Homo-oligomer: A and B are copies of this chain.
């Protein structure tokens, strides 16, 4: 099977149990040895056994119930990990030259639509940016972005000519929380023109809203020509591949 590298003790125990669950030897509902028994089996302290079972529970492979023990869980909805890269890195990983052009840039007081997109309660200033990302000579992605100037006032002084809005924001507001919504739409005339594709072409759309502790940061809609782009998400029972 898998090669046993010189792993740490709890990694070895973890691997053993994972293998028995994944192979079906321990089916859903099967009771796993108690912490004290595991510790005895592997001749280790209870903390080490606990570490293993805690990790298995966190990754969803087992369920723990006080007084009853730990049981192999019923597999439910798969939650895959979706890597969403920066557009520049994405283009470069294709070995193509990256560039971007700011197509429109407007500061305004938030209108009703803006407030909804950014989940703003009061009227505030926003920056609306339309930007095309290129891979080599061809358009790669259309970016339509709204930035809350209440949260990121520094954006007003930035033209985004040399640095793309996404990259700039990552430096200004690191570690913000985000929610991504992925859907498919047909390109309308405007989008088709900007991306240099046929009107009606299926496009993959990622809408992302981003918050920092200081408030809403940005709302962005990324439109990719469908035949040129795909997202990949992986799922492994143990948590990582």
Q: Which residues of A contact B (CB under 8 A)?
A: 1, 19, 21-24, 27-28, 61, 74-86, 89, 170, 173-186, 200-205, 212-214, 224, 226-227, 229-237, 241
Contact = CB atoms under 8 A, between A and B. Distances in A.
10 contacts: A1-B213, A22-B175, A24-B212, A77-B89, A84-B235, A180-B233, A181-B232, A181-B233, A182-B233, A184-B205
A153 to B, nearest CB: 14
What are the 8 tightest A-B residue pairs by CB atom distance, in nearest-first order?
A: A184-B226, A184-B184, A202-B202, A183-B230, A184-B204, A77-B85, A82-B82, A182-B231
Contacts of A186: 186, 200-202, 226
Contact of A80 (B61, B84, B89, B226): B84
Contact of A179 (B74, B76, B235): B235
B241 A177 contact: yes
B180 A226 contact: no
Contacts of A184: 184-185, 202-205, 224, 226
Contacts of A84: 77-80, 233, 235
Given A22-B212, A84-B79, A213-B19, A227 B182 contact: no
A145 to B, nearest CB: 16
Contacts of A236: 177
Contacts of A61: 175
Contacts of A201: 186
Nearest to A75: B174
A184 B233 CA distance: 15
Nearest to A200: B200
A153 B90 CA distance: 41
Nearest to A183: B230
